[in-house]
Structure formats: structure tokens, C-alpha cells
Amino acid sequence: MATAAPEIAHSPISDGSLSMGHLALHYGSPEDGPAAARLLEIAGLAQTQVLPLPGGSFYRFVVSSRHFGRGDGIIYLSCLPEPQRKLIAAIHEALQVGTPDEHQAVRDYRAMMAQDFEASFHFGFLVNSLEELESMVLTLWDLAENDTAFKGRLTIGMNRARRGDEAIDARLDASPVFGKATRYAYGSAGVQVFVETDLIRAGQLGENMYLEFDYVFPDKDSHILSVVEI
């Protein structure tokens, strides 16, 4: 059953006064910088700057050429600062992460994320072409299997659109990517790809980042990003 958001009677922000500015991401160690930056480029981001630093290079990306000279649509990527690395280590030690005595809360959190990539912190990108999204997934599958910089460091999941639209169902059934999908999105007329990686560190345990890539089929007023279906 789909539900629509209630109309907002009074908004303190005039329409068009805000845009998405930037997101700051971190990789774990200096040697992970090039692979983390390469992953973002494969995902479709344009690198506009790389600043070599002793503790790991600083990278600047934009989501498209429309944002090249602006202050929005930016992704920054840099190495985790030492105080943050120490904090993550302290959390892991206190919760005995990765040991036989790992705290049950950690186990429950991992189980939740294994069932639903969207359940906790993640960042989503909207892709304009289904073919480009499929190509990205095929590339990442190949890298995860054959490239030493990525092997064992990528987990890829996906949701296909809920069934009901004959044309969309046929297109996804024939897809080299989504034809294999067994999970369905919380809505129709769109697909989602999730990339879990420890090349970029985030989340409650400072271990993995979850990147989401969405495609919405054109000319659909109701789709996965416009309304949530239960």
C-alpha cells in the first residue's frame, strides 16, 4: 500500500534556495587512496583535483559537468585522520569486533545490513541511464573477481522494480544484471544497486561504506524515489 507525504503548509525555505553541497568521504590508509578514488570514477564521478599529501592524497570529485565550477555536487575523499582511526580502534576493542567474543549488538547490526543495504547510513546517486548502470555493475563484478586492488573488498547487491509493468518487467528479465536479482525495491518503476566496500570507511563501526545507485524509468509519476510502498 502506497502512502503520500502530507502537504507542508509552511516552509521556512523558499523553493530553489538549497542544493546538495558536498559529502566528505574517507579511505582507511594512504595505500587505499588510489583504489578508492578509482572506485568513485568507475561509479561515474569526475575527478577535478588530486592533492598529494604525506598522510594520503586528497581528492575532489563532482557528480557531473554541470557542477564543475559550482559549490554543489561535490564529493571529497581523503584519508582518515589519526584521531578518528584511534576512535574506531577503541570502539572495536571495547566491542571485541572480529573476535569470538564479539558483542551481540555488533552481530545483530551485521545481520541487519546483510539483509538490507539501506538499513543504516548510505549515500545514493541517481543514474540517468539503465545501460550505464548495468555497465558499471559488470565492471565492478569483473574487478571484484580479477583485480587485486578490489578482490575481497566489494560486495554488490541489487533490487529490481516491483513487478506489474509489462515493459519494465521484460526489460529487467533480459538484463545481464537485474535478470539475476532476487530482491525487490520498496516501490515500482526503478532499480537500485548497492556497493558495500571497505575501501571507503564509514558507518557505526568505521568499517564499510554503502553506496547506492538508482535508476528510475522515464515518464513514471510513481516510482521508488517518489513514494515508498510496503
Domain of 45: which CATH number? 3.10.180.10
**Cα gap 144→98, rounded to integer Å:** 23
In this model, does residue 101 exceed pLDDT 50?
yes
Q: Is residue 12 part of a domain?
A: no
Q: Is residue 131 part of a domain?
A: yes
Give residue 105's domain range.
82-115
**Cα gap 86→96, rounded to integer Å:** 15
User: Does the model's pTM come out above 0.95?
Assistant: no
What's the structural domain count of the chain? 3
Partners of 22 in the β-ladder: 74
Q: Is residue 107 part of a domain?
A: yes
**Confidence bin at 28 (pLDDT 50/70/90):** very high
3-state secondary structure of 44: coil
Please give the share of the chain, as a percent, with pLDDT higher than 90. 76
Q: Is residue 3 part of a domain?
A: no
List pLDDT tens digits, range 190-223: 999 999 999 999 999 999 999 999 999 998 877 7
Q: Is residue 147 part of a domain?
A: yes
Do 221 and 153 fall into the same domain? Answer: yes
Phi, psi of 54 (to 5 degrees): -60, -35
Q: Is residue 2 part of a domain?
A: no
What does each C-alpha distance from 133 to 10, 170, 210 come to in angstroms?
38, 17, 16
Do 62 and 124 fall into the same domain? Answer: no
Do 87 and 138 fall into the same domain? Answer: no
- Average pLDDT of 60-71? 86
Q: What cell numbers appear for 45 in the block?
A: 564521478
Do 196 and 91 fall into the same domain? Answer: no
Q: Is residue 1 part of a domain?
A: no
